[in-house]
């Protein structure tokens, strides 16, 4: 089986590649920006024509946290649209190639009933701070649906909850919540700061999934030949931002006081995915939050320079 992983150097792509490499029945091609510019339709077509994969795992995307999403709205929608348009157009002549497309839980409406089921798609207004990114991901789902209905392609859309783990982006202004907190709190510990500030009130509830669990879900989809559909991929557990900060504080062994800045936005007050559909097929996460945070912090320490 020939599998092409797009975006193989990112957090998700590198995890997927590591997991799939262990299977001797899979011939894996790990595509990066070095071999293919996915903003180029010509280069994207050439990659697919040359490798002729049985399955494409699309983990290529511009991603970031709440601040990056809000400040780089144009880049988030344009870059992600370009990538997905070129992939879908390149696949038109290859209905035999299955596409596993990765989205995000931010595609669901701000007021969706929690836990959020796949049927909540397109039933309401998006969360304002990351709506450009969400619109790009929604468009990718719609394009996949169009190509499957018109040309017969099999497209699986996976909507993971908030991801974290090794190879994440730990920068201060572009990171998601967990890597951002780890990076800033580690610095606060190093500089012996007595206070550590966190955006928002700390009350929002969030669900987190260690990236290797998503990679194993993708492997499960491939090996079990799961039928095309939209699947939520979550941990089925939620935690307040305040409790999350305390867990990270314990892992890092930071002794300062945590200050919550309630003048900054909280984002969605609660966002828990209903992963019943994929759980019923046989996949479940295996790495708990505390274990995942320890692994992530160790990777950060080993790679921060």
Q: Which of 108, 133, 164, 297 is catalytic?
A: 133
Verify whether residue 151 is a known catalytic residue.
no
Query: Contact 212/19 with Cβ under 8 angstroms?
Result: yes
Query: Active-site residue numbers?
Result: 133
């Amino acid at each position: 089986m020939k599998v092409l992983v797009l975006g193989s150097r990112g957090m998700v792509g590198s995890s997927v590649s590591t997991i799939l490499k262990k299977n001797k029945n899979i011939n894996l091609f790990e595509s990066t920006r070095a071999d293919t510019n996915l903003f180029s339709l010509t280069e994207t077509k050439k990659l697919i024509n040359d490798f002729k994969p049985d399955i494409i795992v699309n983990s290529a995307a511009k991603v970031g946290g709440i601040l990056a999403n809000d400040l780089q709205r144009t880049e988030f929608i344009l870059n992600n649209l370009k990538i997905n348009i070129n992939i879908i157009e390149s696949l038109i002549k290859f209905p035999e190639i299955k596409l596993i497309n990765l989205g995000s839980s931010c595609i669901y409406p701000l007021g969706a009933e929690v836990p959020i089921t796949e049927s909540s798609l397109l039933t309401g207004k998006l969360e304002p701070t990351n709506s450009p990114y969400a619109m790009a991901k929604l468009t990718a789902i719609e394009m996949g649906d169009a190509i499957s209905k018109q040309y017969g392609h099999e497209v699986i859309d996976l909507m993971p909850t908030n991801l974290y783990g090794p190879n994440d982006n730990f920068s201060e202004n572009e990171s998601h919540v967990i890597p951002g907190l780890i990076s800033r709190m580690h610095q606060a510990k190093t500089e012996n700061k007595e206070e550590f500030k966190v955006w928002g009130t700390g009350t929002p509830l969030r669900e987190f999934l260690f990236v290797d669990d998503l990679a194993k879900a993708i492997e499960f989809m491939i090996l079990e030949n799961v039928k095309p559909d939209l699947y939520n991929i979550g941990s089925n557990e939620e935690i307040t931002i305040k409790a999350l900060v305390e867990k990270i504080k314990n892992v890092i062994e930071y002794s300062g006081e945590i200050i919550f800045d309630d003048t900054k936005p909280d984002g969605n007050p609660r966002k828990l995915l209903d992963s019943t559909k994929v759980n019923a097929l046989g996949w479940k996460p295996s790495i708990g939050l505390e274990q995942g945070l320890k692994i992530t912090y160790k990777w950060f320490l080993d790679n921060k320079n």
